[in-house]
Structure 1
């Protein structure tokens, strides 16, 4: 089953734009029988307040589209404690991930370093730095960019 990944930023910043773009994404996912992942969906999930009408409109768009979407949709958020109750009631399964242990960080580093067959980096030493998976991936990406630049003589 394919996975269609989109970030909240890809969908737009105002309710009309988000509704149009998200409707199109969900339609495509239905046509392709694909899973949908909206990364960093915090802006669409946060509890509504009387002082932030534009954000409230975004949450309402998300609620309406969630209500009628027949497929499987994954939403990622770093602010699970502030999810709007109406959104929360539409979530079938919510998963919380604890911070990575040193052993977990080492496994992530080891997995990424396999892409560099001649790397001398020690995953156990790298894992001493307390980073989450996204930060590790970002650090790894910067390392690849630097190596590419050095060998390409930027």
Structure 2
């Protein structure tokens, strides 16, 4: 068995184990998101994975609906702050109250375990970038692939 096969088995075992271990969160968090800010429950975002293949990365929604549209089309000042802050904004006004809690505990990232289970991501390796981030990261850090 080669390294890639071993890594894939590890990804499946670990992601399934974590999904089952945190099953109560998979039930409670969607209800809380709905009560806090309505639908949608999940945020999906196109990312670039291994070999440049695009896929949808899933998260529990922690921002107001249409947060990306607000950032990229309606608020250029916020977009500039976002880029200069290495893709983060301190005290981002688009994050909901519940979203702050989910992010502080990294619970918003749990749905990515489904991406790992589907083979789109791995438990080990670099993060999956948004295409425009990848271009800028490659310029900043030429070793980024």
Pair in the same fold by TM > 0.5: no
TM-score (norm 2): 0.25
TM-score normalised by structure 1 residue count: 0.24
Where relative contact order (Cα < 8 A, 6+ residues apart) is larger, the structure is 2
**Structure whose CA Rg is larger:** 1
